Structure 1
Amino acid sequence: MFDSHPAQPFLQRSHGDAQVVMGPRGLVDLAQSGSAKAMLPRVTAGLPEIVFLNTSGGLASGDSLSFSVTLRDKAGAVATTQTAERAYRAEGMAARAGVCLHVGEGGWVDWLPQETILFDGARLVRDTQVDLAPGAGCLLLDMIVLGRLAMGERPCRLHLRDRRVVRRAGRIVHHDAMALGDAGLPRLGGPALLGGARAVATLAMIAPQAPDLLDRTRAVLDEPGVAGAASAPRGRLVIRLLAQDDWPLRRQVNRLLAVLRPDPLPRIWQV
């Protein structure tokens, strides 16, 4: 007898995990599996660079992606992504992405991923965890673009849960979260939310000296087409940016990074 309800088709899912361990003299260990890869380009100035990539081309329903950087005492690195991450329409389970950064005593990490583009119907849960030892610091960037702007896409369905938590010696010193859902999308144009912006970014520096950069940061918050503000809670500098297009946003981010970092931008980041 034939089954009156045909079985659901099996969909291949993408899973990736890349882990990098570095010491003061360079690479200590590298492990990668599935769609996640890590490259360490040769640099002649500044911090060593780690470039992560997702060979699957994006995140769809049920996919998972994990990047991890461990820096031993007094080690430093800048980690980024090869290109923008894309979260595609998902009819079932949400895609999951995780970033874990462990920084040893006296170390420093710049986490500067390129933007995440949320397609209409995307479902993404992302969690970024940073553990800082005493005397360590970090600079974190998060950029989100709502829809494919070049195609005039405006998401009507969306599910995003995005969280960044920084701990120092086990104690939470920074917590930032963003949640978007179908019900909230029509209200994003309000002045208390995104004010109609289609591209948003947050930069956060966690270090004792971070508040000292507040005035220099505010002095360059003047990129045309970008609205921005900076604040300096104790031991932190937090900058939030809103724009209608991702290119002005990237230019503003690049100018801010030139103020916040003594080293040249990663080559892959130059605009």
Structure 2
Amino acid sequence: MFDAIAPSMSMQRSKGRAHVVMGPRGVVDLAQSGSAKAMLPRVNSGLPEIVFLNTSGGLASGDRLAFSVELLPGSRALATTQTAERAYRAEDIPAEATVSLKVGAGAWLDWLPQETILFNGAQLHRLTEIELAEGAGCLILEIVVLGRLAMGEELHRLHLRDRRIVRQNGRIIYHDALALDDPALPRLSNPALTGGGRAMATLAIIAPHAPDLLSTARSVLLEPGVTVAASAPPGRMIMRLLAADGWPLRRQVNRLLTALRPDPLPRIWQV
């Protein structure tokens, strides 16, 4: 009896925005609305932490999610997410996620979100933009898992547009883009694509001292089944990691972060 009205039904869409401003002495401002929340756990050591949460439980067709952080000059912080983000099957328009990070003069930000899991049929557009002032630096991580691997899910439909852009003094100094669509999925085993890897990560450090960390990073590439490539152009160190499964990849990422950072891993992570 509902078939006649189904085409006119309007599905509810999730919208959320969370914004945190932090200075050397702590939080200056916090604003949140809709499904986006920001938590500020008490930490006894390491960087002050900002933990973002999407209370809708994942991203479906037409959802809009925005996280943003502004660090005032001279401040330091770590921003992460409470759990893995999930992009569900979308029959209509893509979900959109934006991350805006502004790092003031002499400030430092670690952006360490947990992984994004793409379900079969997911459609996701995501843009991460970072603005660095003079003397500022950052470490950014992105982990993407293609399908629910523990359930043996195979991806046959996917639309992903994922970009990361870092600017300093208005000039682009790092631009990384990933695009995947249906025709690419049967060819993922090609070495020019993922070589069959279903879990991938990009770790980038943007700072004058970043190239000096390359030998340290290479010394901890110990996880079996994880393929890593690294480069260190002036002012940057960039690593790409591939694995057949998310857990070995996460263990290797944890080793790298422990070696490259003086601070503990986020308390919210399951390590």
TM-score range, shorter chain: over 0.9
Q: Which residue of 2 aligns with 1:54?
A: 54
Q: Which runs of 5+ in 1 are unaligned?
A: none
SS at match of 1:138: strand
Question: Does residue 88 of structure 2 align to residue 79 of structure 1?
Answer: no
Letter aligned with residue 178 of structure 1? L
What does 1:131-150 align with in structure 2 at a 5 Å threshold? Answer: 131-150=131-150
Q: Distance in 2 between matches of 1:170 and 1:47?
A: 27
Q: Secondary structure at the match of 2:44?
A: coil
Q: Which residue of 2 aligns with 1:201?
A: 201
TM-score (structure 2 length as normaliser): 0.97
Cα shift at 1:269:
1.9
Task: Give the match's secondary structure for 2:239.
Answer: strand
Which position in structure 2 is the counterpart of 1:18? 18
State the one-letter code of the partner of 1:63.
D
1:219-263 superposed Cα distances (whole Å, 9 cap, x missing partner): 111211111121101100001000011010100000000111100
Question: Take 2:112 and 2:8, find their aligned partners in 1: how far apart are those partners?
Answer: 39
**Whole-Å separation in 2 of the counterparts to 1:25 and 1:60:** 38
CA–CA distance in 2 between the matches of 1:157 and 1:229? 28
3-state secondary structure, aligned to 1:252: helix
Q: 1:64-113: CA deviations, max 9, x gaps?
A: 10000000000110000000000000000000000000000000000000
Distance 2:69 2:194 in 1: 32
Partner AA of 1:95 in structure 2? A
Q: Which one-letter code corresponds to 1:98 in the other structure?
A: T
Structure 2 partner of 1:92: 92
Contact residue 95 and residue 123 of structure 1 kept, 8 A: yes
Matching of residue 243 in structure 1 with residue 251 in structure 2: no
Q: Percent identity?
A: 71
Q: How many pairs does the alignment contain?
A: 268
Contact 1:166 1:175 (8 Å CA) reproduced: yes
Tell me the amino acid that sits aligned with residue 93 of structure 1: I
Name 2:159's counterpart in structure 1. 159
Tell me the SS of whatever aligns to 1:184: helix
**CA drift at 1:8:** 2.1
SS at match of 2:251: helix
Q: CA contact under 8 A between 1:79 and 1:109: conserved in structure 2?
A: yes
What residue number does 1:230 align with? 230
- d(CA) in 2 for partners of 1:8 and 1:141? 41
Q: Partner residue of 2:130?
A: 130
Give the Cα separation in 2 of the matches to 1:264 and 1:26. Answer: 19
- When structure 1 is superposed on structure 2, of 217-226 and 19-28 the one drifting more is 217-226
Q: Is the 8 A contact 1:218 1:229 kept in 2?
A: no
What is the TM-score normalised by the length of structure 1? 0.97
Residue identity opposite 1:34 in structure 2? G
- 1:221–1:229: 8 Å Cα contact kept in structure 2? no
Deviation at 1:18, TM superposition (A): 0.2
Deviations 1:114-144 (A, max 9, x none): 0000000000000000000000000000000
- Counterpart of 2:210 in structure 1 is 210
Structure 1 segments (4+ residues) deviating >3 Å = 4-7
> Structure 2: where are the runs of 5+ without partners?
none
- The aligned counterpart of 2:34 is 34
Q: Deviations over 1:170-223 (max 9, x none)?
A: 000000000000011111110111000010000000000000000010111121
Q: 1:269 to 1:8 in 2, by over 3 A?
A: same
C-alpha spacing 1:227/1:6, structure 2 compared with 1 (3 Å)? closer
